[in-house]
């Protein structure tokens, strides 16, 4: 006799299922607004999909008897034009030693910059009216003014407060274009996955 499934486990599995990747058949498409864990031949993958971004990234390596799958980051409409990253850099440079915040979101006519209203800003912080729509968010950016680009513990908490998926970007050393630095990561709570320009390109994002 099989043990009864605890209702709480059933709810968890329905909301965030773990799915073996078929070795011979096809993996069903993931609907918008859902996420799942995939057990593939070479490891455990997270797959998640919003209106703005469809992503699949490997979380851990392990050999299993299941089928293969691939990693990708697929913004709506295909690869993101790198000019959008340049526009975020221009905003950070214009802020100079004061931190600024902005983002890339999906609108009715495609991608657009969204700069929320700043409430206060200095060389060590920026607070703003957070009116980003989570499902339309692709990139959440803020600068660190004259400081180097890095993710602080405050950034960790702020990023994980959103459900994801999206890309978080920090721009630093914003005194000049020559000194500008940046870090980027994929966010889907509770996961924070470090990336770089090469990985973003290889995964199909840029």
Q: Which two tokens stand for residue 34?
A: 């859902």
How confident is the model at residue 1, as a pLDDT? Answer: 58
Q: Taking phi first (over 0 means left), then psi (-120 to 50 degrees means alpha), and beta for anything else, what does residue 200 get? A: alpha
> Is residue 3 predicted with pLDDT exceeding 80?
no
| Residue 177 binned pLDDT confidence (cut-offs 50, 70, 90) | very high
What domains are there in the chain, each with its CATH number? Answer: 7-75 (no CATH), 83-202 (3.40.140.10)
pLDDT in tens, 75-100: 999 999 999 999 999 999 999 999 99
**Model pTM score:** 0.94
Helix (H) or strand (E) holding 195: strand 191-195
As a three-state string, the secondary structure of 126-189 is EEECCCCCHHHEEEEEEECCCCCCCCCHHHHHHHHCCCCCEEEEEEECCCCCCCCEEEEEEEEC
How confident is the model at residue 61, as a pLDDT? Answer: 97
Mean pLDDT, residues 108-132 = 93
Higher pLDDT, 49 or 13: 49
What is the residue-averaged pLDDT of the chain? 95
| Residue 163 binned pLDDT confidence (cut-offs 50, 70, 90) | very high
CA distance 127 to 118: 6
């Amino acid at each position: 006799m099989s043990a009864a499934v605890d209702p709480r486990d059933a709810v968890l599995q329905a909301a965030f299922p773990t799915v073996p990747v078929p070795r011979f058949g096809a993996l069903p498409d993931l609907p918008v607004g859902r996420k799942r864990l995939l057990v593939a031949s070479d490891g455990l993958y997270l797959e998640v999909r919003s209106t703005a971004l469809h992503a699949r990234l490997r979380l851990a390596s392990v050999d299993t008897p299941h089928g293969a799958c691939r990693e990708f980051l697929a913004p709506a409409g295909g690869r993101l034009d790198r000019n959008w990253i340049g526009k975020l850099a221009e905003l950070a440079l214009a802020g100079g030693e004061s931190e600024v915040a902005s983002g890339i979101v999906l609108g009715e006519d495609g991608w657009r910059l969204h700069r929320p209203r700043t409430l206060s800003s200095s060389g060590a912080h920026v607070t703003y009216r957070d009116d980003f729509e989570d499902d339309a968010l692709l990139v959440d950016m803020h600068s660190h003014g004259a400081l180097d680009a890095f993710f602080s513990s405050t950034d960790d908490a702020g990023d994980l407060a959103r459900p994801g998926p999206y890309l978080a970007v920090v721009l630093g050393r914003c005194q000049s274009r020559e000194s500008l630095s940046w870090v980027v990561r994929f966010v889907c709570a509770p996961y924070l996955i470090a990336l770089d320009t090469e990985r973003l390109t290889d995964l199909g994002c840029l």
